[in-house]
Amino acid sequence: MFGLIDCNNFYASCERVFRPEMNGKPVVVLSNNDGCVIARSNEAKSLGIPMGAPAYQFQKLFDKNGVYIFSANFVLYGDMSARVMSIVASFVPDMEIYSIDEAFLLLDGFDHFDLEEYGKKIRKAVYKSTGIPVSIGFAPTKALAKAANRIAKKYPEKTGGVYTINSDEKRIKALKWLKAEDVWGIGRQHSKRLENLGVKSAWDFICQSDGWVRKYMSVVGLRLKRELEGESSIELEEPKIKKEIATTRSFEGHYTTLDQLKERVVTFSVTCAEKLRKQNSSARSVMVFLLTNAHREDLPQYQRNIVVKFPFATNSGIEIARFACDGLSRIFREGYNYKKAGVIVMDIVPENPVQLNLFENSNPRHEPLMKAIDRINRSIGHHKVKLASQDLDRTWKMRQEKLSPRYTTRLHEILVINATGKGGGTKTDGDFETKRL
C-alpha cells in the first residue's frame, strides 16, 4: 500500500500556527515581490479569490472581507516542512518527499494494520508537534493514493482527514467522482484534449482502450491508466539531482551599460554555483540571457541568449562567472534599456569522480576556497563574502511588505510570551500578552 500525506493550505497554515486569531478567517499568501496569490485558506477560497490572482486587482475585496495578507516567507515554510516530514518519517519505513507540503509513504508490511486509524494517529502527531493540519490517503498505487487524499481533504467531517481505497467498490466510486483534470499526472493540456474527446472523469479515462490511451497520451498515459486500475507501476523515487539550476531577476530600473549587467550576471553565477555545491554537483555549460521591458512599447526591444560550454565541469563561482561574463559580452548590444537577465547552469554531473582533460581543468585551489566561503556565509550571513566583481554594498531584496517573522529559525524573531497575569486568581487568555523580541 501507498499513502500520500498533504499539508492543508500549507503556507496559510504556517502563518496561522503563530497567529491563532486568524483561525476561521480568510488568509492569502503572495508570490515573490507581493505579486500574485499563491496560497489561500478555505475561507479565502470561498470568497472567490482564485489561485494566481494579481493582488492589486483584489485589494478592495481583501479590505472589504478582512483578508489577512502575507508575503511569502519561504524560510519559515521550509523549516515547518522539514519538521512535518521528520515526524511522518518516524511512522513509516520509507517515504518520498514529493514537494514542500506532500510526501508519498510506502507501507509494506502493514497488511494487518487499520490504516485509517494509523493515519489518524499520524495526523494527531503532526498537528500536536507543529500545528499543521494534514490529510492522508491510502491506496494500492500512488495515483490512487492521490485520489484518496483528495477525498480526505474534500470531506474532512466524514473521513476525519484520512481515507483508504482498499476495495474495487471504493476505487470505482472514487474514479467516477474524480474529474479527469484532477488526476495526478494528466495535467492541464491533456485534460483539455480529453474533455474535447468526451473524457470528463477518471472513470471515463480508464474505460478507454489501451490503444486509445497510447495514441493520445503515449506510454506515460498508459502507465497512469494501470495505476488507476489498481496495478502499481510507479515506485517511490530517490531524491533527484536538478538537471538545470537558474537564477534570474528583474531589475528595479533599466540597465544600459555592460558593467551594470556584468555585476548582476556575476552575482547570479555565484548563486548558481552555491546551489551546485549544495547538491554535490558540477556543471559543464551555462546559458546567459538578456531581456528588455516588453511592457514599454515606447522603447526599442531586444532579447537574446547564449550557451557557453565549459572545457571542464566545475562548481566554482569564479569559473562559472568568468564563462558567463564571456557569454554576456557576446550578446550585449548598446542602445537598449535592459530589464531582466538570468544565468542557467546546465549539463549537470556529479561533483565526483572528475573526468580530467589533457589541456585544461578546473583550478584545484578553487575547491577549498569555495568550501571556506560557503562555511563563512552559513555562519555569519548569506553573501557576506563576495567576489570583487560583485557590488559589495548591494543585496538583492524582494518586495515583501507583509512578511511575517521567521519564528523558528531566527532567535531575534522568536515569539516571547509574557505570562505575568494582570491580577491574582485564575489566569485566563485575557491575562496573557504575546509579543516578539
- Quick check: helix, strand or coil at residue 88? helix
CA distance from start to end of the chain: 47
Residue 359 carries which DSSP code?
S
**Residue pLDDT, tens place only, 188-228:** 777 888 888 889 999 999 999 999 988 888 888 899 999 99
Minimal CA–CA distance to 315: which of 353, 350, 289?
350
CB 44 within 8 A of CB 28: yes
Instruction: Classify residue 173 by burial, with Cβ atoms within 10 Å: 0-12, 13-18, 19+.
Output: middle
Domains belonging to the chain, first-starting first, are 1-164 (3.30.70.270), 167-239 (1.10.150.20), 245-380 (3.30.1490.100)
- Main-chain phi, psi angles of 116, to 5 degrees: -65, -40
Range 416-431 burial, b when 16+ CB lie within 10 A, else e: eeeeeeeeeeeeeeee
CA pair distance 190, 99, nearest whole angstrom: 22
Spell out the residues 6+ positions from residue 410 whose beta carbon is closer than 8 angstroms to its own.
Answer: none
Residue 227 and residue 221 in contact, taking contact as beta carbons nearer than 8 Å: no
CB under 8 Å to 89, separation ≥6 — which residues? 95
Q: pLDDT confidence of 310, banded at 50, 70, 90?
A: very high
CA neighbor of 24 nearest in space, from 46, 51, 49: 46
Grid cell locating 302:
531586444
Over residues 384-408, mean pLDDT = 74
Cell of 412: 531575534
Quick one: what percent of the chain has pLDDT higher than 70?
91
Residue with cell 569522480: 353
What pLDDT, in 10s, does the model give residues 63-97? 999 999 999 998 899 999 999 999 999 999 999 99
Q: What is the pLDDT of residues 311-364, one digit of tens each?
A: 999 999 999 999 999 999 999 999 999 999 999 999 999 888 767 676 677 888
Return the H-helix or E-strand segment holding 206. helix 202-206
Q: What separation in angstroms does the CA of 422 have from each of 184, 331, 418, 433?
A: 54, 68, 11, 10
The predicted model scores a pTM of: 0.71
Owner of C-alpha cell 556529479: 350
